Structures are given as C-alpha cells and as structure tokens.
Chain A
C-alpha cells in the first residue's frame, strides 16, 4: 500500500511537470470540472446526499468526491436506494467502499415493495417503478435532502444528453424538460424554494471510455463482475442472465450453464444481461468496449420500452 502511494505520488509529480506545458489533458479537465461542481453543491445546499448505485460510474463519482474535499471526508452521506435484487458482489463492495471513504451509508427499501414482495419476475415494470422511482422519492423526502448527486452521463441516452448539470426538481420530484434553467460557464444557480430540490450530475461530460480510463489511471476499485470469469447463466429472451442466488425461478428445461461472462453495466441481476467475454483485465475490458458494436445500455431492459421511455421515467422522478 505504501509503495502504491509512493508510485501515485511520483505519477502526480510527473503530471505536475507535464502541466508546465500548460495544457491539461481531457481527463484532467473533466476531473477539475467535476470537483468544482461537487464543491459548489456543498457550499450552496443545506442537506446534500450522494446517490450511490455501486456501479463503475458511482465508483468514479465517489472517488472524485474524496478528491474534492480532501483532507476532509466528503461532507455528505451515501444513499443506496436498494431493490434487494442486486448482485451479491455489489452489496459486498458497497459496504466496503463507504467504510473506506469514512462516509455514512444510508440504505433505503421501499416498505410497500417489501410488503408486497415486488420482484422482477412477477411484476415487470412495477419492479423499477416501486423499488427505484418511488423508493428514491421516499428516501429524498424522508431525509429532507435538498441536493442529490447522481452518476448519470450525457453520452448514455438521448434525454440525458439534454439535461443540465444542476437539474431542478419540483416539490414532488418532477423534471420539466421544457423549462430548464439556462446554465452558463461554470456558474450554477442552486437556488430553490422550500421543498424543491436539485439533482446534480458531476459526470455529465464524461464518456464511458473516460470512466474506464479514469478507473485505470486512479486504480479505483470496482465490482469484479465487470471482469470476465466463469459464472452460472441461463439464456432468456435473448439475454444471458446470471443465476446469482436461489431466488431465481428456473423455467422448464432451463439449467444454469457455466460460461465466461462479464457485465458492461450493473443493476438488478435478473434484469441485467451479461456478455460472453474473456476480458479479465481493465485493458482488455476497455479494448472490448472500443471494439464492440452495441451501446452499453443495451443490456438494460428499462430503455427498450419506447423511444421516450427514459424521459418519461425521469419526469416522474427516476434518477
């Protein structure tokens, strides 16, 4: 560990020397922008929180928060709006990452969804609506958070490409895409009336490749599921689904097979498609990503419903 720090320090020195050329690289510019955004939120809101979903984008965002406030720990808690259906490996890293950062971890389960036993097998889109959309709104209201960081990027999806960095929400958490506040330079208007809140996206201008490259350069720990390994899967509706625990109801004729797979994006395990892959290192993962011909959200069932499905979900309060 000591050696690692030493190495890191040398790299920084090298980076600082390169800076005398007075040209920041694109990653350095993105990092500085994200840090500025996070500090602005902390300085202008009364009760901020960071939405933490344990994916690679969350991992980057958490790392940037550590950098933004160092030597202080990030002055806000992490909030995981859980569905109880995430991969086991995600729960393990979630608890560790929060502890490492010295931050409080809040986990919210929608009590109504718990009571009704909402699950992705029987309840279709109700699963996302209740656990995630309703759950998020409940948690934000219950704790009275007036600003919430999310790890969404503009390159992910068309309606996200249109969203401001500081995205304003009404008291009932609605987004109005037609009347967004103008957002100039690095000047953010964080003012809001009581009950209203702001979702803030510090990674707005990062791309998937930027995230991967940053993870590699900064040696950020991510869930091992992003790397290929032999795992038990079944093929269902054209997607490879990993059988992560014994709640998975196998259909007639389905037997889990061991395949070398990995995930490009992580969510609820029964809804997340795996790709067959041999990429076991970061370099190999990035190489595969660059050579692939499908977008990363293709593995998620949520976006396929209709062209405007994400915009509609976001208006209703989904992150």
Chain B
C-alpha cells in the first residue's frame, strides 16, 4: 500500500499562473519509452496505472473504464487498467495486446510518450516497431515467474536496437509477499542473462502495477527498497541522443525544393552534427563538393542547424543533388558501398528467400537488394548461433546483403537513421524485415568488372540476330519442354543460333545441390537467369523451360536482361489437364503425399499478368503453339 493518495498532484501553477506554467512546460524535454516483457506480466496495467496516477485519465474515460471493467475486465469489481490501452476490439475480447499502443503523459519535469508493446511472440514485429524509436525500455517481470523466454527475447531486441536505458521492473511484488529475497533472486538471474547479451547496466525496481506500489508513490510494504520509484527514475534518467550532436554533419536529402528558377534548396532532417552557412559540404555518393549558402526555414534563415532539425539547405554551386543523396561535411564523409554485413529481423509470414530481390529502404535511399543465406540465426533464448538456410517470421540472423547500386550509410551503432533499413517485398509491398548495417564488405571494392573488346553487340551482329531469352513458364506437364524443343528445331532450321536450357537437365548438373523448397527454387532460377544472361552476351537466342512459379523471380531474370530481350511465354494449361497428362507420374506421387512442395498441389503457381506471349495448350496442339511463338519472335 502506498503512503500517499493515488492522485499525482496537478501542478498548482496551472491555476495560479498559467503563462508561467506554459513557459515551463515549453522547455520540458521528452522521453520516449516502451514497456515490454512476457504476456500477463502486467504491461498494460502498469501504463494504465501511470496514466491514472499522473492524472491523465478524465472522468468520462474513467466512467467508461469502470463500466468496461465490470463487463469484460479480469479484475472482478476492481478497475482493469489494461482496458485503457488495449484499444482494438480483438484485443479487448481476447484480453491480449496485439499491436503497439502509444500513450502520452507529462509530469512537472518531463513529457513522455510510452509505447505499450505486445508480449506474444507472433506479434514481435509490433514490439520492434515500438522499440525502434525508444530512449528507454521498461522490461517487466512477474515476480512469481522470474525470467521467461519472452523476457529474454525482448531484452535481446532492446539491446540489439541499441535502446540506451533499461529498467527491470519486477512486478506483482504483492503476490510474493513483497519479499526482498525473491527480488534479489530475480535481479541476479536477469543480470546473468544481461551480461551474456551485452546489456551493461540496468536499473531494477520492485513494483506492483495493480496496487500502485513504487510506481509514483513509495511502497510501505517494501520499505527495504531504497532506490527511486519508477516515475522518479523516468523523470530524471539522463537523455542521450546517442552522441548525434557530436558526430560529423549528415543530412539525407528528402526533397528538392524548387519554387522558381532562382531557388534550389535541399530539404531534409539533419541526422547528426551541426551545419553553418559557409561550411564545406560534400554530396554523396557522387562526391561533388560545394559550400552552404543558407539554412532556410519558414521562420527565417538560421545561423546553424543541428541534429534533429528539419531544414532546407541551399548551396553556392549548381551541383547535382537529389532525393536519396546525402549532404555531409566535406572532409569527413560517410562510407559508400554495395555489400554489407547486417543483422536482420524477419517480420513476414513468408520466409526470407536468399537470392530473391527485395527493395531496401535506408534513409531516403531506395535500392534493389539481395540477401545471402544467413551466416547464422540467433536463438535469442540462449544466444546460441544456429545454422540456417533461411529466416522465418520473427527470426533474427546475420546475413550479407548486396545492393544493385552503392548506398551511403553509417553503421547502426553510430546512427539509427543512416544504419537502420527495412526490406520490402516487390510484389506485395509488405515490409518484410528490419535490418541493421554492421559494416561494408571490402569484397565489393576488390572485384572489378573485366572489360572485354568483343562485346555483346559484336557477338549478336556476327550471328545476324538479336539475342533473346525466351522464358517458358507454366505448370509441370503443361508442355513447356515439348514446345520449347519444337521452337528450337524451327529456329535451327532457319539458321538461327539458339540454345535450350531445360529444367530437368540443369538439375542434373549445375543445380544438383538444390532441392524444391521455396528458397531452393529461387536459387535455381537465379542461376539459370545468370547462365541465360551469359548466353545472350554471346549473342544466342536462349530458350528456357522451367516451372518458375514465382513472379518475383521471373521479374528478377527480366531485370538482368536488356530492355526487350526477355520474352515471357506463359504455357497456360488447367491443372486438370496437366494432371491428366502426368507424363512423369509426378502428380500421382504428389497427391499420394510422396512428393512435397509440388507446384499446383502444395506449392503455389503465380500466373504471369503481362506475359509477352501466352499459349493455351488446352486449346491448341504443341505444333500450333510452337509455330505461333516463332512467328511472334521473328516479328520482335
């Protein structure tokens, strides 16, 4: 039980001298923090309590809270504070937190934004969303349970994302008889884990969210605890901007501001350092230099711009600079590279596919990137490094990434904005992963493209033809290989130089090491795509016959080729027809469950939407289809 009444005192200044209060409030700093920990450790209750005790809950909200508590609450006739923050209907029904909720309160010392993050493993991505912007993390532990799997998972993520302050709030102390021994035991257990993952410091506080002990008011029952209450700690913990102010000047350009021909400014938010008119700056990745003419804002030009400010900078020279470039201090620019070691947190239902191109967004840059197989996956419960071929939903692993053009970056440890990135699926546009850049791989600077004298045009010209990749895609048994074979025969008889890459044949040699999982299918197509490209460099007309079930990979191969060189041929057959043909007896095996991941049965086929040529083998013979394809090819 608490010494004082529950109400956090309203600042007396509000009533006495509002202008003085406002002037004081105006200069308050802001602390963003998260609450995390296992399900039922009482995160939502704690936030409800903080809001209630700091008088941020109004009468009408309290009235509806009291009503809801009786109807769906878990505290009998008592107020269920969790209902204040669990705002979605599904959350209230199930009594769990699904998505991160943001709450706001202020005391006479500070203003706070708190993100209440879900504990369930399946909603880890929402926890990561809340944690990415936090200055402090309150990790809750149920005093009866001690350190649990989710406590470890969340601590690992908190440390990985570089949240500078950690509070260990040992909750539900009232249920363990307010025992000091139990508290010490849990702190010791947590310290052992914290040491293991690299959390150097944390502040441990024994609390009861339900009863309000050591939240705002000191607990009488736990008079053995001499440290600060949770609120007192939140109000006084030193704010760190992770040293942004003291690092060199950087500003990713968001938007080029051109109201008229006489003004050309670069708008963006300064991520680190300070900039003044007259300072020498460099535009990256081009490396061109100039000096700052002015720092423009709506309220007038500034004498200096500092980290965190959104400004518009004009330069003294007309140099090339656009969205995605980074303005930096001239003599200490950030690195530029196209291969990196990174940590990835996978956040999508469909697993990571090494080799598949994703969109990578970092700062204001957006490029295409491919991921290698993970070097290892981290078991966040034990910090053990596991071998892995892919990353599934909520998995964390270390992978190399290569981008299709060089990007400007900082290591995540130095700069969240220029070192933190997201990966986006090119088809669904979903954010599938978050990543942290560790460092650039020197490899990218050591492998140079060998220039050759006889170039691809010379090769094609000698053969008197235009190089092409004719990419047959369709279900197993649709007739791809048969038709491709006929097409090649026809081209050959017409004196064309061609080559047929057949799916089955390639799997006997080049791709012998690959199976039929989604990840292996992607790698299969990537290799075939690269081989086909080398053949087009040699001036050949390449025919390929692969099921190639995923749009993303067909797009990847298309992107490898020159404009107009890639001809997608969709061999369209209904599953029934293909299955009734079953030339190789594969459908029968798949139906019997003897063959896993079979396209059309238990693995999807994504139909092309804009194939250059579509043939329907339900309606035409293989010979007719081949003739039609040759006619169309020669007309291209």
Q: Could you say which of A286, A292, A312 has the most chain B C-beta atoms within 10 Å of its C-beta?
A: A286
Q: Report whether A69 and B257 are in contact in the complex, using a CB–CB cutoff of 8 Å.
A: yes
Tell me if B524 counts as interface (CB < 8 A to partner A). Answer: no
Which listed residue (A19, A161, A184) contacts B304, Cβ 8 A?
Answer: A19
Query: What chain A residues lie within 8 Å of B245 (beta carbons)?
Result: 22
CA distance A292 to B100 in the complex (A): 28
CA distance A162 to B123 in the complex (A): 13
Q: Report whether B129 and A183 are in contact in the complex, using a CB–CB cutoff of 8 Å.
A: yes
0/1 string, A275-299, CB within 8 A of B gives 1: 0000000011011001111110010
Q: Report whether B364 and A43 are in contact in the complex, using a CB–CB cutoff of 8 Å.
A: yes
Which listed residue (A23, A162, A178) contacts B100, Cβ 8 A?
Answer: A162
0/1 string, A10-37, CB within 8 A of B gives 1: 0111001001101111111111100110
Tell me if A265 counts as interface (CB < 8 A to partner B). Answer: no
How far does the Cβ of B239 sit from chain A's closest Cβ, in whole Å?
A: 7
Given A43-B254, A185-B132, A25-B26 contact (CB < 8 Å): yes
Stretch at the interface among A83-91, A124-132, A205-213, A239-247: A205-213
Query: What chain A residues lie within 8 Å of B364 (beta carbons)?
Result: 40, 43
How far does the Cβ of A36 sit from chain B's closest Cβ, in whole Å?
A: 5
CA distance A143 to B472 in the complex (A): 40
Tell me if B75 counts as interface (CB < 8 A to partner A). Answer: no
Q: Report whether B267 and A39 are in contact in the complex, using a CB–CB cutoff of 8 Å.
A: yes
Q: Report whether A161 and B424 are in contact in the complex, using a CB–CB cutoff of 8 Å.
A: no
Query: What chain B residues lie within 8 Å of A189 (beta carbons)?
Result: 361, 422, 424, 429, 431
How far does the Cβ of A159 sit from chain B's closest Cβ, in whole Å?
A: 5
Interface residues of B in 6-65 (CB under 8 A from A): 10, 14-15, 18-19, 21-22, 25-30, 58-61, 64
Stretch at the interface among B84-92, B146-154, B534-542: B84-92
Which listed residue (A8, A39, A162, A294) contacts B87, Cβ 8 A?
Answer: A162
How far does the Cβ of B48 sit from chain A's closest Cβ, in whole Å?
A: 12
Tell me if B298 counts as interface (CB < 8 A to partner A). Answer: yes
How far does the Cβ of A17 sit from chain B's closest Cβ, in whole Å?
A: 8
Which listed residue (B89, B99, B268) contacts A308, Cβ 8 A?
Answer: B89
Stretch at the interface among B190-198, B308-316, B544-552: B308-316
Interface residues of B in 76-107 (CB under 8 A from A): 84-90, 92, 98-104, 106
Tell me if B126 counts as interface (CB < 8 A to partner A). Answer: yes
Which listed residue (B29, B58, B421, B431) contacts A23, Cβ 8 A?
Answer: B29
Q: Report whether B26 and A213 are in contact in the complex, using a CB–CB cutoff of 8 Å.
A: yes
Given A68-B310, A187-B361, A295-B87 contact (CB < 8 Å): no
CA distance A26 to B32 in the complex (A): 11
Tell me if B450 counts as interface (CB < 8 A to partner A). Answer: no
Q: Report whether A182 and B88 are in contact in the complex, using a CB–CB cutoff of 8 Å.
A: no
Which listed residue (A12, A20, A29, A287) contacts B30, Cβ 8 A?
Answer: A29
Which listed residue (A26, A162, A186) contacts B28, Cβ 8 A?
Answer: A26
Query: What chain B residues lie within 8 Å of A67 (beta carbons)?
Result: 297-299
Q: Report whether A295 and B58 are in contact in the complex, using a CB–CB cutoff of 8 Å.
A: yes
Tell me if A123 counts as interface (CB < 8 A to partner B). Answer: no
Query: What chain B residues lie within 8 Å of A16 (beta carbons)?
Result: 302-304
How far does the Cβ of A112 sit from chain B's closest Cβ, in whole Å?
A: 29
Tell me if B359 counts as interface (CB < 8 A to partner A). Answer: yes
How far does the Cβ of A24 sit from chain B's closest Cβ, in whole Å?
A: 5
Which listed residue (A27, A66, A71, A290) contacts B257, Cβ 8 A?
Answer: A71
Q: Report whether B87 and A155 are in contact in the complex, using a CB–CB cutoff of 8 Å.
A: no
Interface residues of B in 228-269 (CB under 8 A from A): 239, 241, 245, 254-255, 257-259, 263, 265, 267-269
The B interface, classified by DSSP as helix, strand, loop or mixed, is mixed
Given A39-B254, A42-B255, A307-B68, A286-B18 contact (CB < 8 Å): yes
Q: Report whether B297 and A209 are in contact in the complex, using a CB–CB cutoff of 8 Å.
A: no
Tell me if B306 counts as interface (CB < 8 A to partner A). Answer: yes
Q: Report whether A205 and B29 are in contact in the complex, using a CB–CB cutoff of 8 Å.
A: no
CA distance A308 to B430 in the complex (A): 27
Tell me if A173 counts as interface (CB < 8 A to partner B). Answer: no
Which listed residue (B129, B296, B304, B422) contacts A70, Cβ 8 A?
Answer: B296
Q: Report whether A184 and B22 are in contact in the complex, using a CB–CB cutoff of 8 Å.
A: no
Tell me if B113 counts as interface (CB < 8 A to partner A). Answer: yes
CA distance A35 to B267 in the complex (A): 10
Q: Report whether A308 and B92 are in contact in the complex, using a CB–CB cutoff of 8 Å.
A: yes
Q: Report whether A32 and B308 are in contact in the complex, using a CB–CB cutoff of 8 Å.
A: yes
Q: Report whether A291 and B10 are in contact in the complex, using a CB–CB cutoff of 8 Å.
A: yes
Which listed residue (B85, B90, B125, B302) contacts A161, Cβ 8 A?
Answer: B85
Given A12-B297, A19-B306, A161-B85, A186-B22 contact (CB < 8 Å): no
Q: Report whether A161 and B87 are in contact in the complex, using a CB–CB cutoff of 8 Å.
A: yes
Determine the residue in chain B with the shortest Cβ distance to A15: B299
CA distance A184 to B306 in the complex (A): 23
0/1 string, A141-162, CB within 8 A of B gives 1: 0000000000000110111111
CA distance A186 to B87 in the complex (A): 24
CA distance A73 to B258 in the complex (A): 10
Query: What chain A residues lie within 8 Å of B359 (beta carbons)?
Result: 191
Determine the residue in chain B with the shortest Cβ distance to A180: B99
CA distance A26 to B31 in the complex (A): 9
Query: What chain B residues lie within 8 Å of A24 (beta carbons)?
Result: 306, 308-309
Tell me if A2 counts as interface (CB < 8 A to partner B). Answer: no
Q: Report whether A191 and B26 are in contact in the complex, using a CB–CB cutoff of 8 Å.
A: no
CA distance A255 to B25 in the complex (A): 43
How far does the Cβ of A130 sit from chain B's closest Cβ, in whole Å?
A: 24
Tell me if A72 counts as interface (CB < 8 A to partner B). Answer: yes
Tell me if B74 counts as interface (CB < 8 A to partner A). Answer: no
Which listed residue (B26, B29, B111, B416) contacts A217, Cβ 8 A?
Answer: B26
CA distance A27 to B29 in the complex (A): 9
Q: Report whether B64 and A12 are in contact in the complex, using a CB–CB cutoff of 8 Å.
A: no
Q: Report whether A32 and B254 are in contact in the complex, using a CB–CB cutoff of 8 Å.
A: no
Q: Report whether B26 and A27 are in contact in the complex, using a CB–CB cutoff of 8 Å.
A: yes
Q: Report whether A287 and B361 are in contact in the complex, using a CB–CB cutoff of 8 Å.
A: no
Query: What chain A residues lie within 8 Å of B424 (beta carbons)?
Result: 189, 191
Tell me if A177 counts as interface (CB < 8 A to partner B). Answer: yes
Q: Report whether A209 and B430 are in contact in the complex, using a CB–CB cutoff of 8 Å.
A: no
CA distance A207 to B347 in the complex (A): 30
CA distance A183 to B130 in the complex (A): 8
CA distance A140 to B424 in the complex (A): 26
How far does the Cβ of A178 sit from chain B's closest Cβ, in whole Å?
A: 6
Given A22-B245, A161-B87, A9-B61 contact (CB < 8 Å): no
Given A185-B416, A213-B25, A161-B102 contact (CB < 8 Å): yes
How far does the Cβ of A19 sit from chain B's closest Cβ, in whole Å?
A: 5
Tell me if B434 counts as interface (CB < 8 A to partner A). Answer: yes
Query: What chain A residues lie within 8 Å of B616 (beta carbons)?
Result: none
Q: Report whether A162 and B101 are in contact in the complex, using a CB–CB cutoff of 8 Å.
A: yes
Query: What chain B residues lie within 8 Å of A36 (beta carbons)?
Result: 254, 269, 310
Q: Report whether A39 and B255 are in contact in the complex, using a CB–CB cutoff of 8 Å.
A: yes
Which listed residue (B90, B101, B323, B422) contacts A187, Cβ 8 A?
Answer: B422
Tell me if A311 counts as interface (CB < 8 A to partner B). Answer: yes
How far does the Cβ of B184 sit from chain A's closest Cβ, in whole Å?
A: 36
How far does the Cβ of A272 sit from chain B's closest Cβ, in whole Å?
A: 16
0/1 string, B119-163, CB within 8 A of A gives 1: 000000110110011000000000000000000000000000000
How far does the Cβ of B20 sit from chain A's closest Cβ, in whole Å?
A: 10
Q: Report whether A177 and B88 are in contact in the complex, using a CB–CB cutoff of 8 Å.
A: yes
Q: Could you say which of B29, B85, B422 has the most chain A C-beta atoms within 10 Å of its C-beta?
A: B422
Q: Report whether B99 and A182 are in contact in the complex, using a CB–CB cutoff of 8 Å.
A: no
Tell me if A53 counts as interface (CB < 8 A to partner B). Answer: no
Given A68-B310, A298-B60, A184-B434 contact (CB < 8 Å): yes
Query: What chain B residues lie within 8 Å of A193 (beta carbons)?
Result: 429
In the assembled complex, 23 residue pairs joining A and B whose CB atoms fall closer than 8 Å, in A order, are A25-B29, A28-B308, A31-B310, A36-B269, A36-B310, A43-B364, A158-B101, A160-B87, A164-B129, A177-B99, A183-B129, A184-B132, A186-B133, A189-B361, A189-B424, A189-B431, A217-B26, A286-B22, A287-B14, A287-B15, A295-B58, A298-B58, A307-B68
Seed contacts A43-B364, A158-B87; 13 additional CB < 8 Å A-B pairs: A12-B300, A16-B303, A25-B27, A26-B30, A35-B269, A71-B296, A161-B102, A182-B347, A187-B420, A189-B424, A291-B15, A293-B58, A308-B89
User: Lowest 5 A-B CB distances belong to which pairs?
Assistant: A158-B87, A26-B30, A35-B310, A72-B259, A287-B18
